[in-house]
């Protein structure tokens, strides 16, 4: 990949995907005529797409949004709600679900606790595209319960509860896909055309959901963790550890890296976000992205490397209801008599009561009192520029508050600083900072500023986009904005104001004074903004958005039937489950081994060799792979379909003795239920299938004691066969098609082998032992590259290996296991915990009826089992002998442990089978 770019590669720059060119109208994709609109709409006819958006934090509702209530309820909330509305009105889109958190807390409005809310469509502007609305099921806010049931918590506290959301969202999507299948899918489930995560927490969730459902993922960052970390470090107020304690910034950054691993498309608002923010991440390199894209176009091998597509799509806005005021404060409006006669909005009086002379032009800033919004620099610039003070007033709309003492410490501190500066510069009568405003009153606030011939300003240190700048322009307000971030692109299109250095109060004051004092410049900027504002309409946004989704390669569960001829014609007495609607195929790749006349010891060896050969994609000598066409229920459905509860043994022990001892304790704890068949068991392990079988036989355990085996850290999935003697295991090869997304194959393996050979023990006396890491060819399979580690102390942490792979655009999941003496590298969205979601999706295994047994510590995928709607029993004193594996994370394990979850319980230190049963009783699984 180090070769020079060809001419074709050089021409395909990342910036080509930007919506904005050097000229104002150059490359912004838009529908320029009614004929073009009709042609595009006709292309979409017949499509019935289902789209899923995710935005987890903050308070989200369709009307009267509480924007500015806190740092989590900002512009993103409005954006995702309006996006959902706009997409649902587009031809070809049948339903849009916006998934968020259900908050049933006395401290917030009861509406946030409602499970769902339909988003009523706003008035259209008469475009042809909206004629299809009648065929749409509409847009909905779906609130998924997760986290503390009666608390509204900040986004930094949500990380331990993300798996619980994923499980709840998975259930909703499966059920909705079934319903939509009955409505518009001809009886077949309608899977999401895409799952779109907004912000890092939703990106993490969307990655897991898209992997579980095998559908394309989109991501919008809104703001990015690495950029925020750099900004905070530059300010020098907090150390990196303090920043992480406050913002959980390293967990956020890892989630954003995962979104790069998993996303088909990353939607940005500006080129700056790509070129200056995303390039800070290990998983994205603009130069490498250009090479890979050019290679794909020319059908040249990328050696297993993948990069998400970065696409600039500016946020949209509805403009049809906005009527810019053309008059001034003396009431000389060019509008109709009706408009002149209408009373002034109440918010106008609330603002103007602050001013000695309310007719002066108003400088308007609309932002919550957050340090990054840089309002103190604005007040300083205004206070120190006497000509500006003489010509204009300043209005600061800083969210809503009842009492400063009840605000968050950061917001309260910032507001107090602003009030002190107003006092310092004696700005009384010149600065308004009202305590309350409704979201519905924001247009009136813009209109007031425009009527006074004022200016809108966004002085943020860095602004990812700047939707308020577009809103202000639509109301006829020129802008002054930071030169860092999205305003650069907005200015390029609208040409309606000036850009400034947000760190320089003099620069801010000069720009404001220039616009306020020069009436011709003010009028020109106003006119330019109003003339070009249609380029930021929701129609434009959604058209480009849907075209990007259409370009994604379709993905769906590989085991779904494709032909009506394959429909089951026999009655099925299995319990009702979500997967009953999926038209599942029989397990069609059973392994049958010919072992007649072979003694038991040889039989064991034959089985192990055959299983090993199968998992490596080969055919072992003496083994035959045949297709099973059995029609019995047991052949069609694994036993997990019939169980009341499923117990997953996911103990990462130092040795086989410790593992078998604890497996037997679990068995003994539920011996009665186990014999009755109401409880099934799954073994989830880093071991390969042949190793598992050897372990079971050597410890006197019967393979039939388990319904399924999740092997190779989640890279392989097996079921127990009904012919346990001669055909002990059935491999679910559809699982491989489910997890192979972005699997680098041989290109990845060669890179890993080179990396392994570079880790040398320079002090080794024996040259044969100099290599610390060696490939375990006996255990390596098609979807798990396994390596032995001779000395774990000499191996770089897993986070460094992940970083190296991401830098090279190799997408994989690196797991240190067996107390650091083994490394498994598997597909990026494969894991033992994800395998459980696959079993739910395919067989309807009720995740709320699953109990996972883990030790106090484990492999580096250990945390995946400690969250979700399943129950977890932590066996005290069990696990790896040291916790050094957990230092492999970029963030503390405590950041993701749901310590207060009622679904997690710990046994005593020296526990018995009775203690395990007692723990199950406390969880409500069994009677104590």
pLDDT of residue 61: 96
Q: In the beta sheet, which residues pair with residue 455?
A: 363
The average pLDDT across 437-465 equals 92
CA-to-CA dists, residue 919 to 422, 669, 695, 853, 911, angstroms:
60, 10, 27, 11, 10
pLDDT at 15 over 50: no
pLDDT of residue 11: 37
Phi, psi torsion values for 798, nearest 5 degrees:
-60, -35
pLDDT of residue 485: 80
Instruction: List all residues 6 or more positions away from 859 whose beta carbon is below 8 Å from its beta carbon.
Output: 652, 686, 713, 815, 816, 817, 818, 880, 885
The average pLDDT across 62-89 equals 91
Tell me: the pLDDT tens digits for 101-131?
999 999 999 999 999 999 988 654 434 334 4
What token pair was written down for 695?
């372990």
pLDDT of residue 724: 52
pLDDT at 176 over 90: yes
In terms of pLDDT, which residue wins out, 477 or 327?
Answer: 477
Residue showing tokens 């406390």: 922
Q: What is the band of 51 on the pLDDT scale with cuts at 50, 70, 90? A: very high
pLDDT of residue 636: 57
| Segment among 124-128, 296-300, 844-848 with least mean pLDDT | 124-128
Tell me which fold the domain 348-533 belongs to.
Rossmann fold (3.40.50)
Whole-angstrom distance, CA of residue 691 vs CA of residue 776 = 13
Query: Percent of the chain at pLDDT above 70?
Result: 81
**Over the chain, what is the mean pLDDT?**
84
Tell me: the pLDDT tens digits for 639-685?
888 899 999 999 998 788 989 999 999 999 999 999 999 999 999 99
Whole-angstrom distance, CA of residue 682 vs CA of residue 664 = 13
The average pLDDT across 358-384 equals 95
Q: DSSP character for 131?
A: G
Cβ-in-10-Å burial (0-12, 13-18, 19+) of 376 comes to middle
- Strand bridging mode 785-789 / 813-817: unpaired
pLDDT of residue 892: 87
Tell me: the pLDDT tens digits for 131-162?
444 467 899 999 999 999 899 999 999 999 99
Tell me: the pLDDT tens digits for 316-343?
877 766 777 665 655 544 444 444 557 8
Tell me: the pLDDT tens digits for 710-766?
999 999 999 988 665 666 789 998 999 999 999 999 999 999 999 999 999 888 877
pLDDT at 886 over 70: no
Instruction: List all residues 6 or more positions away from 807 whose beta carbon is below 8 Å from its beta carbon.
Output: 282, 285
CATH fold match for the domains 44-123+130-264 and 348-533 = yes
Instruction: List all residues 6 or more positions away from 489 whose beta carbon is below 8 Å from its beta carbon.
Output: 18, 19, 20, 269, 270, 271, 272, 312, 314
pLDDT at 299 over 80: yes
pLDDT of residue 839: 95
The average pLDDT across 161-184 equals 96
Whole-angstrom distance, CA of residue 895 vs CA of residue 901 = 14
What token pair was written down for 458?
């966004």
| Segment among 167-171, 190-194, 600-604 with least mean pLDDT | 600-604
pLDDT of residue 617: 47
Whole-angstrom distance, CA of residue 260 vs CA of residue 484 = 23
CB count within 10 Å of CB 478 equals 27
44-123+130-264 belongs to CATH 3.30.70.20: no
Tell me: the pLDDT tens digits for 196-237?
999 999 999 999 999 999 999 999 999 899 999 998 898 888
pLDDT of residue 707: 95
Give the domain ranges of the chain: 44-123+130-264, 348-533, 645-742+831-923, 751-814
Strands (E), 801-911: 813-817, 822-826, 850-855, 871-875, 904-906
Residue showing tokens 């989590």: 72
pLDDT of residue 678: 93
Whole-angstrom distance, CA of residue 160 vs CA of residue 374 = 32
CATH of 645-742+831-923, one of 1.10.10.1200, 3.40.50.1000, 3.40.30.10, 3.40.50.300: 3.40.50.1000
pLDDT of residue 271: 85
Radius of gyration of the chain (CA): 30
pLDDT at 35 over 60: no
Query: Percent of the chain at pLDDT above 90?
Result: 64
**% helix, strand, coil for the chain, step of 5:** 45, 15, 40
- pTM, rounded to two decimals: 0.80
């Amino acid at each position: 990949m180090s070769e020079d770019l060809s001419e074709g590669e050089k021409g395909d720059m990342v910036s080509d995907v930007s919506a904005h060119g050097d000229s104002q109208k150059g490359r912004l994709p838009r529908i320029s005529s009614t004929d073009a609109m009709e042609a595009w709409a006709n292309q979409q006819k017949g499509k019935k797409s289902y789209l899923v958006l995710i935005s987890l934090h903050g308070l989200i509702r369709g009307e009267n949004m509480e924007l500015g209530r806190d740092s989590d309820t900002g512009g993103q909330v409005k954006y995702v709600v309006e996006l959902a509305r706009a997409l649902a009105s587009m031809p070809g889109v049948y339903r849009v679900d916006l998934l968020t958190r259900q908050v049933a807390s006395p401290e917030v409005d009861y509406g946030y606790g409602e499970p769902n809310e339909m988003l009523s469509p706003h008035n259209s502007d008469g475009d042809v595209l909206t004629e299809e609305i009648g065929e749409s099921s509409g847009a909905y806010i779906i609130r998924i319960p997760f986290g503390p049931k009666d608390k509204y918590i900040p986004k930094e506290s949500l990380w331990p509860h993300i798996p619980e959301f994923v499980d709840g969202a998975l259930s909703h999507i499966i059920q909705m896909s079934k319903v939509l299948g009955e409505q518009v899918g001809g009886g077949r489930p309608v899977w999401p055309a895409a799952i779109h995560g907004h912000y890092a927490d939703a990106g993490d969730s969307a990655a897991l959901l898209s992997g579980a459902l095998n559908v394309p993922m989109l991501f919008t960052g809104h703001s990015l963790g690495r950029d925020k970390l750099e900004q905070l470090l530059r300010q020098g107020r907090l150390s990196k550890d303090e920043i992480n304690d406050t913002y959980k910034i390293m967990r956020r950054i890892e989630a954003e890296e995962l979104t790069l691993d998993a996303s088909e498309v990353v939607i940005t608002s500006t080129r700056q976000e790509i070129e200056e923010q995303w390039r800070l991440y290990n998983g994205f390199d603009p130069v490498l992205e250009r090479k890979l894209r050019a290679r794909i176009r020319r059908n040249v091998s990328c050696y297993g490397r993948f990069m998400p597509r970065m696409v600039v799509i500016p946020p949209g806005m509805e403009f049809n209801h906005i009527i810019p005021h053309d008059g001034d404060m003396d009431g000389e409006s060019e509008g109709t008599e009706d408009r002149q006669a209408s009373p002034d909005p109440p918010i106008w009086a609330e603002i103007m009561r602050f001013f000695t002379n309310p007719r002066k032009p108003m400088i308007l800033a609309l932002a919550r009192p957050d340090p990054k919004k840089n309002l103190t620099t604005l007040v300083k610039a205004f206070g120190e520029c006497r000509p500006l003070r003489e010509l204009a007033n300043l209005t600061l709309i800083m969210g809503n508050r009842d009492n400063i003492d009840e605000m968050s410490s950061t917001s309260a501190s910032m507001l107090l600083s602003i009030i002190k500066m107003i006092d310092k510069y004696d700005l009384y009568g010149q600065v308004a900072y009202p305590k309350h405003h409704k979201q519905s009153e924001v247009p009136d606030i813009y209109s007031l500023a425009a009527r006074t011939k004022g200016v809108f300003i966004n002085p943020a240190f860095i602004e990812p986009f700047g939707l308020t700048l577009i809103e202000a322009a639509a109301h006829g307000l020129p802008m002054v904005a930071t030169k860092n971030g999205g305003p650069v692109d907005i200015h390029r299109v609208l040409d309606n104001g000036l850009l400034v250095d947000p760190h320089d109060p003099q620069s801010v004051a000069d720009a404001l004074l220039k616009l306020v004092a020069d009436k011709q410049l003010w009028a020109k900027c106003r006119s330019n903004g109003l003339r070009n504002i249609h380029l930021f309409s929701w129609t434009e946004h959604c058209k480009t958005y849907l075209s990007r989704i259409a370009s994604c390669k379709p993905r769906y569960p590989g085991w779904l039937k494709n032909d009506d001829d394959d429909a089951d014609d026999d009655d099925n007495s299995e319990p009702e489950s979500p997967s009953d609607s999926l038209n599942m195929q029989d397990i069609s790749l059973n392994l049958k081994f010919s072992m007649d006349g072979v003694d038991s010891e040889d039989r064991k060896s034959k089985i192990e060799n055959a299983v090993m050969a199968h998992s490596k994609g080969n055919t072992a000598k003496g083994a035959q792979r045949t297709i099973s066409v059995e029609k019995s229920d047991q052949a069609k459905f694994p036993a997990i379909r019939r169980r009341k509860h499923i117990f997953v043994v996911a103990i990462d022990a130092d040795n086989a003795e410790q593992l078998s001892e604890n497996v037997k304790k679990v068995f003994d704890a539920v011996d009665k239920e186990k014999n009755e068949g109401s409880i099934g068991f799954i073994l989830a392990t880093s071991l390969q299938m042949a190793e598992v079988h050897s372990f079971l036989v050597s410890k006197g355990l019967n393979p039939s004691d388990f319904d399924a085996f999740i092997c190779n850290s989640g890279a392989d999935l097996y079921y127990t066969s009904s012919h346990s003697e001669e055909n002990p295991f059935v491999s679910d090869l559809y699982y491989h098609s489910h997890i192979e997304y972005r699997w680098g194959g041989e290109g990845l393996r060669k890179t890993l082998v080179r990396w392994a050979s570079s880790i040398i023990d320079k002090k080794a006396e024996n040259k044969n032992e100099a290599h610390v890491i060696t490939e375990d060819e006996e255990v390596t399979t098609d979807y798990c590259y396994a390596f032995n580690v001779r000395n774990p102390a000499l191996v770089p942490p897993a986070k460094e290996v992940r970083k190296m792979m991401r830098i090279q655009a190799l997408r994989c999941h690196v797991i240190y296991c067996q107390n650091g003496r083994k490394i498994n590298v598997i597909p990026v969205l494969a894991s033992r915990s994800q395998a459980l979601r696959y079993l739910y999706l395919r067989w309807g295994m009720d995740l709320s009826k699953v109990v996972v047994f883990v030790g106090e510590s484990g492999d580096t995928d250990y945390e995946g089992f400690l969250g979700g709607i399943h129950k977890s029993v932590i066996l005290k004193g069990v696990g790896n002998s040291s916790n050094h594996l957990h230092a492999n994370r970029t963030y503390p394990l405590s950041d993701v442990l749901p310590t207060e979850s009622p679904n997690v319980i710990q046994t005593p230190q020296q526990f018995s089978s009775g203690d395990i049963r007692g723990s199950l009783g406390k969880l409500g699984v069994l009677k104590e």
